[in-house]
Amino acid sequence: MEYTIENEYLKVTVTTWGAQVKSVLRKCDGVEHIWQADKSVWGYHAPILFPHTGKVVDGIIEAKGGRYESGQHGFARLMEHQLVAITEDSIVMELRASEETLAKFPYEFALISTITLENDTVHHSLTVENWDEEELPFGIGYHPAFTVPFDDTHEATDYELRFNETESPLCIGCLPKGLVHGNCYYLGNNIKSIPVDEHLFDNDSHCMVNLKSTKLGLYEKGTGRGVVCDIENFPYTLIWSKPGVPKFICIEPWQSLPSPENGSSDWNEKPAAAILAPGESWTTTLSTSFVR
């Protein structure tokens, strides 16, 4: 199912499949900013990553005496979420523990998505509630894809990623297995922008750490049009697209990392975004502005 909310600036469609923001239409110029999930390129819009970001060792979670297969980014993006509430400019969806989730992840939980419009900004909050009798460790993150170019008069190379502070972005290496191995590299030195070109993602994503910037935006050069993510409260921010000339750019604020390459599949040994005691809850919010 799909549901639409809107205000003076934006018209936003959210799908229950993965609780993804499927469409953000800017009313003043009709630009669709969310990648429309062409399966021949990449078949998602803006997946949410839970109960882990990236990969786990051997694709296995060992918890509560059991072994559970777990693919990249967990299962929340691959399941139907239930509509809880909707108003003209807000929507709430929920994924609750069930027989289906317990076969993948042996914890009782609720994952609540709250999407709210405020002028030209979309706030997407994720709340995790621990309904289990044991502590709940988890990882979580966002993976929105923004279409480039914004219209048919521009090309992908007319765009750049801009920080709001001068940065020397230090990136955590995860190749070739998608697991953290301790090698790091710099994406640039004393820069405020990263040009978009056909080689930016030759070696997959870039996972930036310790950024000073509170904002990272995808901007159209010379026009001021942009998509700006508030990354202030996230320890990691990734950028990613398919190799070659990008058709979309992902800006991915994460609260956790993939497992260490030399780590364990024991879930309690994996670095977590948070560890909730029974009855506790935890919330993170990605705010994205569609500026003119």
pLDDT tens digits for 11-33? 999 999 999 999 999 999 999 99
Provide the domain limits for residue 86: 2-291
Percent of the chain having pLDDT more than 70?
100
Percentage of residues in the chain having pLDDT higher than 90: 98
For the stretch 198-251, pLDDT in tens is: 999 999 999 999 999 999 999 999 999 999 999 999 999 999 999 999 999 999
Predicted local distance difference test score (pLDDT) of residue 113: 98
CATH code of 73's domain: 2.70.98.10
Please say if the pLDDT value at position 182 is more than 90: no
Give how many domains the chain has, as a whole number: 1
| Average of per-residue pLDDT across 75-89 | 98
Q: Is the pTM of this model over 0.95?
A: yes
Between 262 and 108, the more confident residue is 108
Give the DSSP per-residue string, the chain. Answer: -EEEEE-SSEEEEEETBTTEEEEEEETTTTEE-B----TTT---SS-EEBS-SS--GGGEEEETTEEEE--TTBSGGGSB-EEEEE-SSEEEEEEE--HHHHTT----EEEEEEEEEETTEEEEEEEEEE-SSS-EEE--EE--EEESSSSTT--GGGEEEEEEEEE--EEE--TTTTSB-S-EEES-SSEEEEE--TTTTTT--EEEES---SEEEEEETTT--EEEEE-TT-SEEEEE--SSS-SEEEEEEESS-PPBTT--SBGGGS--SEEEPTT-EEEEEEEEEEE-
39-61 average pLDDT score: 97
Question: What tens digit of pLDDT does each residue of 108-163 get?
Answer: 999 999 999 999 999 999 999 999 999 999 999 999 999 999 999 999 999 999 99
